[in-house]
Amino acid sequence: MRILVTGGAGFIGSALVRHLVSEIGAEVLNVDALTYAGNLASLKSVESAPNYQFLQADICDRARMMQEAFASFRPDIVMHLAAESHVDRSISGADDFIQTNIVGTFSLLDAARHYWDGLDARRKSAFRFLHVSTDEVYGSLGDEGLFEETTPYDPSSPYSASKAASDHLAIAWHRTYGLPVVVSNCSNNYGPFHFPEKLIPLMILNALEGKPLPVYGNGANVRDWLYVEDHARALFTIASRGRPGEKYNVGGRNERRNIDVVHRICAILDGVYSDKGPHARLITNVTDRPGHDARYAIDASKLESELGWKAQETFETGIEKTVHWYLENEWWWRPLRENVYSGERLGVFKGR
Ligand code: NAD
Ligand code: DAU
């Protein structure tokens, strides 16, 4: 099985590539532009594997790099994760989000379509293009209810609007051209190799360094957390067995308020460094995120009943593993904190 992964040097993409190379034994081509979020250090465990190749390329470069990647690698499956992923950065400036998430997805879909058109009948019907997306396309929930695959799109941020646009393009390429596309919409991921701009790794590293833990607004916003390795398994399940033209929600039934997540991290660190606690004294309420969605919660029953996937980690087991991973892997995060992003607030602007 030959799998072309885009964004494989990112957080979820690298977990997926490690899974495909080491556990599935697929032939993998990782296509990644290596933006600030791309990090080949996350792929150290597979970089010398004979079934792994890396191509540094921008997915927007359809005519040259993408068509060439398809023609030379000849994938059976495409798993498209390359994106600008951070909501706060999309608030500060949306240009790269429009380019990569919308134009880039168009570029990749079209390169895939031309390649797929030229396949023989057997390979054509087996081919799959998995477009990896987010639950944020559905907007914000009130206190009750879950996102289902049929929930209408209602994105709030430039990031989620760009992902919504890309989902529509992917489904359109199926309905119009017959390209065997499947779409996955997943909730918040966490785990090892998570870039420390996102809530969980930022809180762990700030707490370790005795810095304030900035909680947006009152901390009552709810996210539905999924351990990244559970997501990687779900993505392979959907790409290999999902039905073309269908969407699958992915989530682990782990709803938590942000403030409770931060308290949990502090409690784990108190257990390790009792002399430095209580870490919760570092919690600081800061100005809310503009357009901050109140609650996300995923109904993953279609994926569970139709394809037999189930999350293996609970939030309690996953967060414990994650905090300990950061304690043991300073070699990975220290260069990022010092040279790429040191934790300053992103995504606020005058007038809000
Ligand atoms: P990430 O920001 O960690 O990684 C993105 C990767 O894409 C990086 O390696 C980057 O170099 C690469 N990339 C960016 N622009 C590119 C371009 N123009 N061409 C080629 N490569 C490019 O993102 P992530 O958190 O791993 O998310 C991966 C995907 O999963 C995204 O599509 C995101 O929308 C989706 N998703 C993320 C989450 C989450 O909680 N992080 C949840 C659901 C869905
Ligand atoms: O739901 C899936 C989405 O989850 C993905 O599509 C995105 O790519 C991913 O970045 C993530 O988006 P969020 O905006 O939910 O993640 P983030 O880690 O930025 O924030 C999680 C919550 O924590 C959110 O309610 C905002 C809050 N927050 C975040 C940061 C960075 C804080 O309170 N303080 C912070 O410093």
Atom of ligand 1 nearest to the CA of 85: 2
- Residue 176 burial (CB count, 10 A): 9
Minimum-distance ligand to the CA of 189? 1
Half-sphere exposure (CA, 13 Å, Cβ side) for 248? 29
Q: Is 163 in the pocket of ligand 1 (CB under 6 A)?
A: yes
The catalytic residue among 138, 159, 190, 326 is: 159
Instruction: From 86, 87, 138, give the residue whose CB has the most ligand 2 atoms within 8 Å, as the site to mutate.
Output: 87
Q: Is 23 a catalytic residue?
A: no
Give the Å distance between the CA of 203 and the centre of ligand 1.
Answer: 21
The CA-atom distances, in angstroms, between 105 and each of 67, 125, 275, 306 are 13, 22, 49, 27
**In the prediction, which pLDDT does 46 show?**
98
Helices 330-339 and 199-208: crossing angle in degrees, nearest 10, is 90
> In sequence order, what are the beta bridge partners of 4?
29, 78
| pTM, to two decimals | 0.98
Q: Is 159 a catalytic residue?
A: yes
**In the prediction, which pLDDT does 352 show?**
56
Q: Is 255 in the pocket of ligand 2 (CB under 6 A)?
A: no
- In DSSP notation, 271-286 reads HH-GGG--GGGGEEEE
Residue nearest atom 14 in ligand 2 by C-alpha distance: 87
Give the Å distance between the CA of 45 and the centre of ligand 2.
Answer: 28
Half-sphere exposure (CA, 13 Å, Cβ side) for 344? 7
Closest by CA position to 7, among listed 22, 17, 20, 18: 17
The catalytic residue among 27, 135, 230, 255 is: 135
What tens-digit pLDDT sequence spans the chain (352 residues)? 999 999 999 999 999 999 999 999 999 999 999 999 999 999 999 999 999 999 999 999 988 899 999 999 999 999 999 999 999 999 999 999 999 999 999 999 999 999 999 999 999 999 999 999 999 999 999 999 999 999 999 999 999 999 999 999 999 999 999 999 999 999 999 999 999 999 999 999 999 999 999 999 999 999 999 999 999 999 999 999 999 999 999 999 999 999 999 999 999 999 999 999 899 999 999 999 999 999 999 999 999 999 999 999 999 999 999 999 999 999 999 999 999 999 999 999 876 5
- Residue 63 burial (CB count, 10 A): 10
Q: Where are the domains of the chain?
A: 2-191+226-254+292-314
Q: Is 299 a catalytic residue?
A: no
> Which homologous superfamily is 2-191+226-254+292-314 in?
NAD(P)-binding Rossmann-like Domain (3.40.50.720)
> In sequence order, what are the beta bridge partners of 186?
134, 250
